[in-house]
Amino acid sequence: MQTQTELVVKMIVDAWNTQNKRVDKLINTLAEEQLRGETSPGRNSGIYLAGHLIAVSDGLFPILGWGEKLHPELENIFLKNSDKSGLEKPSLDELKKYWNEINAKIAEHINAMKPEDWFEKHTAVSAEDFAKEPHRNKLNLLINRTNHTSYHLGQLVYLEKK
Amino acid sequence: MQTQTELVVKMIVDAWNTQNKRVDKLINTLAEEQLRGETSPGRNSGIYLAGHLIAVSDGLFPILGWGEKLHPELENIFLKNSDKSGLEKPSLDELKKYWNEINAKIAEHINAMKPEDWFEKHTAVSAEDFAKEPHRNKLNLLINRTNHTSYHLGQLVYLEKK
C-alpha cells in the first residue's frame, strides 16, 4: 500500500516525464529544417526553444541540490539571451546529445530521491522564507517546471506540418 | 503545522490557479481583433482556444463529481469540432461571461474540498482500474489539466503584439 506522499510524488514525476517525452518525440521527429524554422512568424525558432528547455532542465541540478550543471555554457545562449542575439548556437546534433545526457542524469537523480526528500527546500529559497512557506520545496519546483515544459511544447508543435 | 497532503494539495491547486490567471489576464487584455486572429498561420484562433479551455474547465464538474456542466453546448463547438468547423461560436462577451462563471464555480468547489477528497477516484476511471492504479485520482486530473492549460497558454501568447 502506497502512502499519499508516495502516490503524489509518483503523479508529479509522471507528469514531468510525460511532458518531456512529448518534447523528446518532437525533437527527434521533426526535420532539422523544421526545427530551424520559427514556431510562428517572428517568434522563437524550434532550435532556440529546444536549447531553452535543455538549459532549464540543466538548471535542475544546482537548484535541486544534485550538483553542477552539465552544460553551463547554454545559460548565456538560451536563458540570458534571445533567439536573435547573434550568439553562436550549438549544432542540432550537439543539442540532442546534451538533451539525452541531461535527461538521463535527471532520471538517475529522480530515481534516487526518497518521497520525503521532495519536501525539502530547494536552493533558490532561503531557510527563513522556507520556514514560513514550506510549499516552496523541490516537488513544487518540479510542478512548475513541468508547466513550463508544456507551455513551450504548445509552441513547438506548431513546427509540425499542417 | 500542515501535513504533507495539505501542502501538496495547496501546491497543485496553486499551480492550477496560476495558469488560469495567466489565461484570464490574456483574454481580458487582448483586443477582440487579436483574439479573432490565428495564433500562428493556419492554426487555432484565440477565440477557439479560449472556448476550448472554457469547455475543458466546464468538464471538471462531471469528472470531479461536482455536478453537471454549466455550458454543455460548448462541447460540440470547442471539443468535438475544430476551429474551422463552420459551427457558430458564442460571442467574445458570452465566452468571457462563461469563463468567469465557470471559474468562480470551480473555485467554490475547490475551496470546499478536504485534502483527502482529492485522492478519491474521478468519474472517468472504473472502480476496478482505480483499485490497481490509485494515482488516477482527482488530484492527478488537476495536475494534467493544469499542464493542458499551460500548453495552450504558450500558444495564446502569440496573439500579443511583438
At A97-147, the pLDDT tens digits run 999 999 999 999 999 999 999 999 999 999 999 999 999 999 999 999 999
Report how far apart, in Å, the C-alpha atoms of A39 and of each of A12, A25, A43 are. 28, 17, 6
Cβ pair A41:B41 closer than 8 A? yes
Which of chain A's residues have a Cβ under 8 Å away from the Cβ of B139? 8, 11
Cβ pair A154:B154 closer than 8 A? yes
At B1-49, the pLDDT tens digits run 789 999 999 999 999 999 999 999 999 999 999 999 999 999 999 999 9
pLDDT tier for residue B100 given thresholds of 50, 70 and 90? very high
Which of chain A's residues have a Cβ under 8 Å away from the Cβ of B26? none
Region of B134 please: left (phi>0), alpha (psi -120 to 50) or beta: alpha
For the segment A44-72, the average pLDDT, to the nearest whole number, is 98
Which domain, by its residues, includes B47?
4-161
Q: B156 CA to chain A: closest CA distance, Å?
A: 9
ipTM entry: 0.97
- pTM of the entire predicted model: 0.97
Which of chain B's residues have a Cβ under 8 Å away from the Cβ of A42? 162
At A140-153, the pLDDT tens digits run 999 999 999 999 99
pLDDT tier for residue A19 given thresholds of 50, 70 and 90? very high
Cβ pair B135:A11 closer than 8 A? yes
Query: Touching check for B40 and chain A: CB below 8 Å?
Result: yes
Sequence-ordered list of residues with C-beta below 8 angstroms from that of B1, at least 6 positions apart, any chain? none
Q: C-alpha angle B31/B107/A116, rounded to 5°? A: 115
Q: A105 CA to chain B: closest CA distance, Å?
A: 24
pLDDT tier for residue A11 given thresholds of 50, 70 and 90? very high
| Contacts of range B14-20, beta carbons closer than 8 Å, 24 or more positions apart | B14/A135, B15/A143, B15/A144, B15/A147, B15/B143, B15/B146, B16/B110, B16/B142, B16/B145, B16/B146, B16/B149, B19/A147, B19/B146, B19/B149, B19/B150, B19/B153, B20/B57, B20/B103, B20/B149
pLDDT at A1 over 80: no
For the segment B53-61, the average pLDDT, to the nearest whole number, is 98
**What is residue A56's predicted lDDT score, i.e. its pLDDT?**
98
For the segment B66-94, the average pLDDT, to the nearest whole number, is 98
pLDDT tier for residue A2 given thresholds of 50, 70 and 90? confident
At B110-120, the pLDDT tens digits run 999 999 999 99
| Contacts of range B76-85, beta carbons closer than 8 Å, 24 or more positions apart | B77/B51, B78/B48, B78/B51, B78/B52, B78/B54, B79/B52, B79/B55, B82/B44, B82/B48, B83/B44, B83/B45, B83/B48
Q: Based on the structure, what is the number of domains in chain B?
A: 1
Which of chain A's residues have a Cβ under 8 Å away from the Cβ of B146? 147
**What is residue B2's predicted lDDT score, i.e. its pLDDT?**
84
**What is residue A35's predicted lDDT score, i.e. its pLDDT?**
98
Which of chain B's residues have a Cβ under 8 Å away from the Cβ of A154? 150-155
* Closest Cα in chain B to A3: B5
Phi, psi angle pair for B153, to nearest 5°: -60, -40
* CATH number, domain containing residue A132: 1.20.120.450
Q: Which three cell numbers stand for residue B27?
A: 483574454
Choose the mutation target among B16, B141, B157, B158 for the interface with A, i.e. most A CBs under 10 Å: B158
Residue A158 CA to residue A37 CA, distance in Å, equals 10
Q: What residues are paired with B121 via a beta bridge?
A: B137
At B26-37, the pLDDT tens digits run 999 999 999 999
